[in-house]
A and B are shown apart, each in its own frame.
Chain A
Amino acid sequence: MSVNRHPNTQGVTIKQWRYTATGGETTLSGTDGFSQSLTYTPGAEEVFVNGVLLVRGTDYTASTGTTVVLNNALVAGDIATVSAPSVFNVANSIPSSTVTAKGDLLVANGSASLTNLAVGADGSTLVANSSAGGGVSWAGPQFVAGRNKIINGDFGIWQRGTSFSNSGNYTADRWYWDSDATVTISQQAFTAGAAPVAGYEAPYFFRIAKSAGGTYVATRQRVEDVRTFANQTVTLSFWAKANATVTINPYYQQNFGSGGSTTTGAFIGSGFTLTTSWVRYSATVAIPSVAGMTIGTGSYLEVFAGRYVGSAATTIDIWGVQLEAGSVATPFTTATGTLQGELAACQRYYWRTSVASGYGLFGFGYGTSGNQAYVNMNPPVTMRTVPSSILDLSALSTFYWEGSAAGNTPTSLAYNTNSTPSMLQVTVVKSGSFTSGGTCALYSYNQAAYIGFNAEL
């Protein structure tokens, strides 16, 4: 027999099991005279004998859900009643077991129907997706330009060459190195399909090959303006491997520029132990505020990524360097997200003009005397500042000029202080070869010819 105490609503029903004793029974179980089986939730039952409520644990034991054991046997004609509320579900409740892991989401998969959407990969983005069962799905990795403040973090741009052994120089664009040991920095090509991150097929990585001896080797990049990431938590991430187990210790510095406050810095993370396989490493650091600091010209945030202290011979390979706000290493992207954008970003700091093939023109100019001419060259992007007075040059024998006399190799080429960040000028020196105010062209037939302008920090 069942009684619904709230007949007009969904809720608890009270099931009564009723039994007339024949005498001597101490156990109640089975089917009563109304075809009702004895079932109950232990602890929720009420047991009556002749209308008197018995005391649980004193007068009876009810632990199985299907039997009740009485301490005193019934006598013939006693009426034993077990009253048990039904198990019920609250309408429209969501079982907590629907989600199974940290980050899981509940999403609707139809009208009044919910399902679990498992957490996405780090850095992925939730997007609407009508094809997905839940109407949304995780998309990623997302390559978002502008998040990474490291320029040429994928080592795709190498204007200055592909192998370097003179300490204290730039290598791949924006990447400077120095060491007191014998070191060769070189461009290395990935085997197609072997780049360490899915979805980003990079052509090159950066190799530091250090011979035994010396005490350190460091590669660094200066991010323009010390205000960058000031008072923010940032995450440095990169992929790396080595010829043997080796530990590198990335470091950062805040340099406040000429006339600015004293440089400060700290380690990023507590060191990364590289193995012989590509592994992505990351560490988070809080960059101090610049409040109260004096910021001069040419300030920067400097990141030493491949920094090894020790005398052992070691080969360290690095790729995919990223410095971003926040405490999560999100999927790698270059600073600009495009090849042309990354080249332009590099050329803000260094521009090398060269001869691609055959005849190549560097620029036109005008004679200022019989012995020299000024030749103008437009950089493809406005440089960070007026370039250094130091020109990178190929051998003079690779250049030719055309002026008032027959073309010939110049005696010298020099930086001209008339240069601006958006118009560069070179002085071509050759005795008795020009006319003041006359036109001059600087060109080459040699593919080795180049002129480089430096506006690095």
Chain B
Amino acid sequence: MEPTFFDVTNIDGSTTAFVLIDLGNGNFQSMPKSVYDTLPSNSSTPQAGE
């Protein structure tokens, strides 16, 4: 499933772009698009391995 992008309005009136990612098995992750853009292309999660 392709990521779903959406905007939320912050309490100060500014807007932040978010993305919803389907990890499979009924698990999803929601994160700012700015975080999503930093992920390696082959990673479905934000946690880097050791």
Chain A interface (Cβ < 8 Å from any Cβ of B): 166-170, 176, 178-179, 218, 220, 302, 304, 368-369, 371-372, 374, 388-396, 411-418, 427, 429, 448, 456
Contact check, B28 vs A393: say whether CB atoms are below 8 A apart: yes
Contact check, A412 vs B11: say whether CB atoms are below 8 A apart: no
Q: Whole-angstrom distance between the alpha carbons of A390 and B3 in the complex?
A: 14
Q: Which of B6, B43, B49 contacts A414 (CB 8 A)?
A: B6
What are 10 of the A-B contact pairs (CB < 8 Å)? A166-B45, A168-B43, A170-B47, A218-B50, A391-B31, A392-B28, A394-B28, A412-B6, A412-B30, A414-B30
Q: Which A residues touch B30, using CB under 8 A?
A: 390-391, 393, 412-415
Give the interface SS of chain A, mostly helix, strand, loop or mixed: strand
Q: Whole-angstrom distance between the alpha carbons of A368 and B29 in the complex?
A: 23
**A396-B20 CB under 8 A given contacts A168-B45, A168-B47, A218-B50:** yes
Q: Whole-angstrom distance between the alpha carbons of A448 and B26 in the complex?
A: 8
**A411-B50 CB under 8 A given contacts A393-B28, A393-B29:** no
Contact check, A390 vs B9: say whether CB atoms are below 8 A apart: no
**A418-B31 CB under 8 A given contacts A178-B49, A178-B50, A412-B18:** no
CB distance from B11 to the nearest CB of A (A): 6
Q: Which B residues touch A220, using CB under 8 A?
A: 50
CB distance from A355 to the nearest CB of B (A): 14
**A167-B49 CB under 8 A given contacts A392-B27, A394-B26, A395-B28:** yes
Q: Does B41 belong to the interface (CB within 8 Å)?
A: no
In the A-B complex, the 10 residue pairs with the closest CB atoms: A178-B49, A390-B31, A393-B28, A414-B18, A391-B30, A168-B49, A412-B6, A427-B8, A414-B8, A168-B47
Contact check, B31 vs A415: say whether CB atoms are below 8 A apart: yes
Q: Which A residues touch B46, using CB under 8 A?
A: 388, 390
Q: Whole-angstrom distance between the alpha carbons of A315 and B49 in the complex?
A: 20
Q: Which A residues touch B9, using CB under 8 A?
A: 368-369, 371-372
Q: Which B residues touch A417, using CB under 8 A?
A: 10, 16
Instruction: Please encode chain B, from 29 to 50, with 1 for each CB lying within 8 Å of some chain A CB and 0 for all others.
Output: 1111001000000011111111
Q: Which B residues touch A372, using CB under 8 A?
A: 8-9
CB distance from A257 to the nearest CB of B (A): 16
Closest to B47 in A: A168
Contact check, B50 vs A396: say whether CB atoms are below 8 A apart: no
CB distance from B14 to the nearest CB of A (A): 10
Contact check, B45 vs A169: say whether CB atoms are below 8 A apart: yes
CB distance from A216 to the nearest CB of B (A): 10
Q: A413-B30, A416-B10 are in contact. List 9 more A-B contacts (CB 8 A).
A: A166-B23, A178-B50, A220-B50, A390-B29, A412-B8, A412-B18, A414-B30, A416-B8, A456-B47
Closest to B10 in A: A417
Q: Whole-angstrom distance between the alpha carbons of A139 and B10 in the complex?
A: 59
Closest to A450 in B: B27
Q: Whole-angstrom distance between the alpha carbons of A45 and B30 in the complex?
A: 99
Q: Which A residues touch B4, using CB under 8 A?
A: 412
Q: Which B residues touch A427, using CB under 8 A?
A: 8
**A396-B28 CB under 8 A given contacts A168-B48, A412-B18, A427-B8:** yes
Q: Whole-angstrom distance between the alpha carbons of A304 and B6 in the complex?
A: 38
Q: Whole-angstrom distance between the alpha carbons of A372 and B18 in the complex?
A: 13
CB distance from B33 to the nearest CB of A (A): 10
Contact check, B28 vs A304: say whether CB atoms are below 8 A apart: no
Contact check, B26 vs A395: say whether CB atoms are below 8 A apart: yes
CB distance from B3 to the nearest CB of A (A): 11
Q: Whole-angstrom distance between the alpha carbons of A396 and B27 in the complex?
A: 10
Contact check, A391 vs B8: say whether CB atoms are below 8 A apart: no
Closest to A167 in B: B49
Q: Which A residues touch B48, using CB under 8 A?
A: 168
Contact check, B6 vs A390: say whether CB atoms are below 8 A apart: no
Q: Whole-angstrom distance between the alpha carbons of A169 and B43 in the complex?
A: 11
Identify the interface centre among A372, A414, A417, A448: most chain B CB within 10 Å of its CB.
Answer: A414
Contact check, B47 vs A389: say whether CB atoms are below 8 A apart: no
Q: Which B residues touch A178, using CB under 8 A?
A: 49-50
Closest to B7 in A: A429
Contact check, B50 vs A394: say whether CB atoms are below 8 A apart: no
Q: Which of B6, B27, B32 contacts A389 (CB 8 A)?
A: B32
Contact check, B26 vs A391: say whether CB atoms are below 8 A apart: no
Contact check, A389 vs B35: say whether CB atoms are below 8 A apart: yes
Q: Which B residues touch A176, using CB under 8 A?
A: 47
Q: Which A residues touch B44, using CB under 8 A?
A: 166
Q: Whole-angstrom distance between the alpha carbons of A427 and B23 in the complex?
A: 20
